[in-house]
Amino acid sequence: MTISAAIPLVEQAQATVERRWPIGVEVLPGGAHARVWAPDAERVELVAEPEGRATVLGDEGNGYFSGTVPELEAGGLYRFRLDGKEMLYPDPISRFQPEGSHGASQLVDPHRFAWTDQGWQGRAIKGQVIYEMHIGTFTPEGTWDAALAELPRLADLGVTVLELMPVSEFPGRFGWGYDGVNLFAPTRLYGDDDAMRRFVNEAHRLGLAVILDVVYNHFGPDGNYLKCFAKDYFTDRYKNDWGEAINFDGPNSEPVREFFLTNAAFWIEEYHLDGLRLDATQSINDGSEAQGKPHILTEISRAVRQAAGGRATIVVGENEPQHASMVKPAEEGGCGLCAIWNDDLHHSAMVALTGRMEAYYTDYRGTPQEFVSAMKYGFLYQGQWYRWQRKRRGMPAFGVPSPAFVSFLQNHDQIANSARGLRLHALTTPGRLRAMTALFLLGPGTPMLFQGQEFAASTPFLYFADHKPDLAGLVEKGRAEFLAQFPSIVGPAMQAALPKPHAEDSFTRCKLDHRERESNAAVWALHRDLLRLRREDPVFAAQCTGGLDGAVLGEEAFVLRFFGEEGDDRLLLVNLGRDLTLTVLAEPLLAPPLDGAWTVLWSSEEPAYGGCGTAAVEQPDGAWRLPGHAALVLGPAHGFSTESDDEGGNTTPVIVVSQG
C-alpha cells in the first residue's frame, strides 16, 4: 500500500471515498470517514459525544470496519463501541485526546493550519548538530509556545536539528513520554495540535530541522486500548523489558505493520517533521527477512523518505548492541537508517571524566587509545567479547560514514542514570569537561547536546512518570532495581535518597532556567565557538570518513590529525591529565606542514571559557608542552592569523584566511 497517496476505499454503500491514510477518522467534505481494524469484533459503532449518536461502520470482511459519519465535524468528540457493549474506547488512531488517553478522541482537521515553510528543504545527516529536548521541562511553562520562544538562541548556538523526546499522548500529568499509548496524538500537556505545528513552522523559519523520538517497541501500561480492538497487535513470541512485544511478523501482522508505517509517515506529512529517532530498536523484533520481506525498520525509513516528498530527512536509531547494519543501505542488507547512537564513546568518556567503571561502564577504560579508535572507527566494540553482558558486542562498522555515528556526552537516559540526575559538570572538573567537549564537538561524528548542557544547567534530569498509585509503586520498584546494577547505588543511604518517579517534585526540579545562559556565559561561549569552528572550518566541516588519524602521546593525552584537501591539516591535542612535556617527538602526526609550522587556532583554556590561559606549545628547545586538562586546535602557521570577535564579549581566536 502506498502510504503517501490518497487511498480509495469502498464503504458499505459501495461509494468511493478518497482517504489520505488507510486507518483512522478523517475530515472529508460533508463530515468524516472512519476506518478501523477490529478483527475481534462483529459490530463496530462510532459514537459522537456528548450527544451519543451512533453510526454503524460497515464490515469490509477483512477485519476492517469503515463508513461515513456525516454528523461528525472538525473539533467534534467521539469514541468507538464494540459489539454493542457499554464500554466506549478512544480511537486507536486518534489525532488528539483533549481529556487524556482515557477520554474521548477529537476529530482534527490538519489542513486548517497555515504553514509558511513551503521553501524548507529539510536536512540530511551530514553537517548537523542535534539538540535533544523534552518539551515539558525545556521551559518553566512546559509548553510548545514557551519552547518556541527559545528557538532563536539555539539557532544562534549552532544547533541545526532538534530531537524531541516522545510527545505522543500518555496518562498522567507528566512523564518522559516513553509510555505513550496514542501514537498519533500529540499530548494535551504541551498545548493543542496546532501548537506543535507552530513550533515546527518556527523552527523551519530559523533553519532548524525537527525530528521526533518515537517508541515502536512497546506501549505504555496504562491507557492502551489497542488489544480491545485486536489481540494480534501484540505477541508473546519475543521478550520485551517494558511490556508486551509488538507483532511485526506473526499471524495478522500486516495491519500492525500498516499501523506503524502510517504513523511514521503521518508525523512527516501532517506535522512537517524532518525525521524520526527510533527508540530501543533492539526490542523491535521482526523475522520478516526470513520470509523474504523487508525488516520493519527498513520499511519505516522508506516511509519517512516517501512522505517527505523530496525533502531531506533524518532517521536515527538507538540500538544498545550497536548493530552497524542499522545504518547500512537496504540493498546491502541494512535497514537504511541515517545514523545510530554511539554508546561506546559516551561510556569511555564517562570513565575518563569521572573515574567510575561500574555496571555498563565496566568494559571501558577511558584511555587515549579508546578515543583515537572511536574517532577513527566509530564503535569500540565491533564483535569483541563484552564482559558486562557475557557475550560479544556489536558487529564490524569499518567503512560506515562518520556522520552516521551520533556522539554525546549527555542524554536523557545517561543523566538520569546517575541516580540523582546530576549533569556531567557536577561529576568532573571544568578543565577536563571543556577538553572533552572540544573532542565531541569537533570530532567527525554527528554531535548531540542534551537540553541545558550548553550552559551547564544546575537543574538535574531525573526519571519522572505520573502513574496511578498501584502502577506508580511498581514503576518506583522497577527503577530502583534497574539502578541497583551500580554498586554505588545499592547501599541503603543511596536507595533511600532515590527520587520517586511519581513525585511532582521529581518533574518540576528538572525544568530549565534559561537565565543561567547569562550567569554561565563562559560555558555557552565554549559551545557556541566550538560549533562555529566546526561549521566554518573546512577541515572540521568535511567529516571525511578516513580523513583523520591519531596517536597516544601520554597516559592521558593524545593527538588527532584531521587531513585537509589542500594540506591545511588540523591537530586536535587533548590532555586530560597533568601538564605534559614531550622532549622526544617521534610521532609523524605531529610533523608540521611542508615548509611551515603550527600555530594555536583555538584553546579550551581561553579566559572567555573560564580557562587559565594558554602558554606556547613549542618551547625554545623544540620540546612541546601540552597544558593539563585542556584541548588545543593547531593549524598551519602560514596563511592563517587569529582575530578576536568583540561582539558579545567574545575574545576567542577565529581562523581568518590571509589575503597576502
Quickly list DSSP for 199-229: HHHHHHHTT-EEEEEE--S---SSS--HHHH
C-alpha cell at 2: 502506498
| 179, 274, 279, 606: the active-site residue | 279
- In sign, the C-alpha dihedral spanning 186, 188, 190, 193 is positive
At 10, which helix (H) or strand (E)?
strand 7-10
Q: How far apart are CA 234 and CA 573, in angstroms?
A: 52
Quickly list DSSP for 90-114: --TT-S--TT-TTS-EE---TTSS-
First to last CA, the chain: 62
Q: How far apart are CA 620 and CA 300, in angstroms?
A: 60
Q: How far apart are CA 257 and CA 247, in angstroms?
A: 8
| 270, 286, 318, 606: the active-site residue | 318
Q: What region does 112 belong to: left with phi over 0, alpha with psi -120 to 50, or beta?
A: alpha
179 is annotated as an active-site residue: no
Q: Is 174 helix (H, G, I), strand (E, B) or coil?
A: coil
C-alpha cell at 407: 556522539
Q: CB of 158 within 8 A of CB of 449?
A: no
Residue type, 578: R
Grid cell 554508546 in the structure block, residue: 343
318 is annotated as an active-site residue: yes
In a 13 Å sphere around the CA of 120, the CA atoms on its Cβ side amount to: 22
Beta strands in 307-347 (DSSP E): 314-317, 339-341
What Å distances lie between residue 283 and 215, 217, 322, 401, 405, CA to CA? 10, 6, 13, 25, 20
C-alpha cell at 380: 569500540
What Å distances lie between residue 533 and 61, 105, 526, 612, CA to CA? 61, 48, 11, 21
Beta strands in 420-462 (DSSP E): 446-450
Residue type, 488: S
Beta strands in 411-516 (DSSP E): 446-450
Q: How far apart are CA 145 and CA 199, in angstroms?
A: 7
Q: CB of 88 within 8 A of CB of 80?
A: yes
Q: CB of 163 within 8 A of CB of 132?
A: yes
- In sign, the C-alpha dihedral spanning 304, 305, 308, 313 is positive
Quickly list DSSP for 42-57: S-EEEEEETTTEEEEP
Active site residues: 279, 318
